[in-house]
Every structure is written in C-alpha cells, then in structure tokens.
Amino acid sequence: MNHLPRNMTLKAFDPHRADFACKHEADANPPFTAEADALFQQGMAATSYDLVFERRDYAKAAELWKQAAGMGHWKAALNLAGLHESGLGVPQDSEQALLLVEGLMKQGVPAAFDKMGTYHQRGIGVTSDTSRAYAFWQLAADMGSSAAQAHLGEKLDAAYDSPGEGFWGNREIGLKMLECGFAQGNGAAAHQLAMTLNNVDEDYARSLRIYHEGVKLGCKDCANTLSVRFDRATPLTGNIIDTARAERYSELGDALELNPDLRFPNLDKVLPLPPAALPIWDGKRETLWTPPSLWSPSQPRNPPPARSAPAAPTSRRGMCCGSRPALRRSRPTPMRPAAATGCPD
C-alpha cells in the first residue's frame, strides 16, 4: 500500500516559502480525443444544473464518463470519481474514487493532486490528515492546478499567521498564486485577487476589472459583489451609483446560484464596464447571455442614468478583514470541471 500515490512522500507545506513559479495546468494535462470529449459532454448534459435534481440522470452520466475515462479523458475520470464519492448514479465507493484519482496522478494531472488533498482533508478513503492535505495542495499549485493556487493564495493573503484559523501572512506569494490562478480562468482566484486589491492596495480600477472578468468566468461572488457596489457609492465604482448595472449583475449572480456551469464570454456586449453606455435590455435574465443578435426588441428597458454620490470616507482595512473560509475545504460533489477550464468549486 505504501507505493500508492495516496501514500507518496510529500514535501511539508511551507506557508512562508520565498518563491513561487507560475505554471498552467493546460501545459501538463494529457490531451483527449473529440470522441472522448463528446461522451464527456453528453454526461454533463445528463446532469445539467438546468435540470431539476430529480431529472438529472447520474447513472447515465456515470456510464458515459466511464467510457470517456477509458479513452483517456481526465475530466471524465475526475467527475466519475466525484460520483463514487457521493453515491450518485453508482454505489458509493471511496476506494474506487481514490483509484480513479490515483490513475490521473500517475499521468501528471495537477487537478488530481488537488483532489487528493481534498480527500486527505475530508478523510475520504484515507485517514483525515490536514498536514498532508496542505502538502498535496502545495504540490498541486506548483504543478499548475488553478484550484489549488486559488485556495492557497487565499490562505497566504493575510497580514499575520493564524494557523488555527487557516491563514498565514505571506502576501507576496499569495498574490502570485492568485494572479496565476486568475490567468488560468479560475473564478475563485479572480474574486480573492479583486477583493485584496480593493481592500488592501486600494487599486480600485484593476480590482473592478478583475471582478468583471470573474463574472465572465462564472464567479457568483464577483457578480454579487458588483451588484452591491454599483448600488451604493463606493470607491470601487468611482462613487457612482448605477442601479441598472447593479440589477444586471444581480441577475447574473442569481443565475450562477442556480447553474454554476454558466460562463459569460460575451458579457461586455450586454454589460460593459463604465464609462461605456449600457445596451437596451428587455429585462429577461436569459438575454444577458444570449448573443445580442438574438435579442427580442419587444419590451426594451432603458437603463436609468447613473448618478454621482458624495465620496464616502474610507478606511484602510487589514488583509484579514471580513470572514474567511473555515479550515475545512469543501467542494461540490460530484466535481464538474468546466469544459473550458476546470470551481470548483
């Protein structure tokens, strides 16, 4: 048993490391065929968040993902492991989940090392061991896992150490990890990076852009943050109150609450950042991500003009302000990597 990847010798987690080299998981992941990806996508459709839970066919997805995994599709193998974790569509079998993840570890898939860290943190098929969990996440981040980079980047983005609460003061490295995760299209990394640039660095212009980019990546928290900020006078939005933009971000946040798989690559066409004018919107949530050429002009809703508000007094908030995730790291089950990436949760 000691030769299995789950029991591999690991370098201890070092929250005070002095360097971090950004790597992208796309450079490490094995390629897969169009045929395998078609099976994977069919499984995603069978379990779509657009379907009510009772209509999601996890048994069908399990069969499709098993076929795709057998053809070398690493995302399908991760999703299949998620089904075995939860017992959706297949008997609950943590050992089978571990074996699937270990197979991907042998292929050098960074997300598999991140997943193994979660198994050790939650005690899925192995003895719960937080130290080994962080060691696996550290290795995954160094290999290019955007999820691990987002997670550890958030943990290191603090002003001081508090291991009991799960964070450490190594902001320089934390920011590098967050920048790397964001560059790979990770919505969680976008949210944490934008938040720290806003709260700590007071770099409002870049923070606003990153929050907006995060919405494109499917980051619900980014959408909700911008909805709140555009609805009141804050430095992030230049002390401009813009209820029309706030409403649209709110609709996108609600949509992502229902379907975390949504992505909005054409967001700038329906919800550009100021000073660009907002296009007319018919008030229907779906049209915020429908191509503009398909918009229905039947009931246009003209946005009210934005108005300036007196600048509110601001205070420099510490790096640890606000609530932080608990030490226990949770992931949606089953894991559903986005076809274009790869959150997470």
pLDDT at 306: 41
Q: Which residues contact 182 (CB under 8 A, 6 or more apart)?
A: 189, 190, 193, 210, 213, 214
Amino acid 320: pLDDT: 28
Q: What is the pLDDT of residue 178?
A: 98
Q: Both tokens of residue 164?
A: 């009991």
Residue by residue, pLDDT tens for the chain (345 residues) are 568 899 999 999 999 999 999 999 999 999 999 999 999 999 999 999 999 999 999 999 999 999 999 999 999 999 999 999 999 999 999 999 999 999 999 999 999 999 999 999 999 999 999 999 999 999 999 999 999 999 999 999 999 999 999 999 999 999 999 999 999 999 999 999 999 999 999 999 999 999 999 999 999 999 999 999 999 999 999 999 999 999 999 999 999 999 999 999 999 999 999 999 999 888 888 888 765 543 333 233 333 334 443 333 332 222 222 322 222 233 333 333 333 333 333
Distance CA 320, CA 215 (A): 24
What is the phi/psi pair of residue 276, to 5°? -60, 140
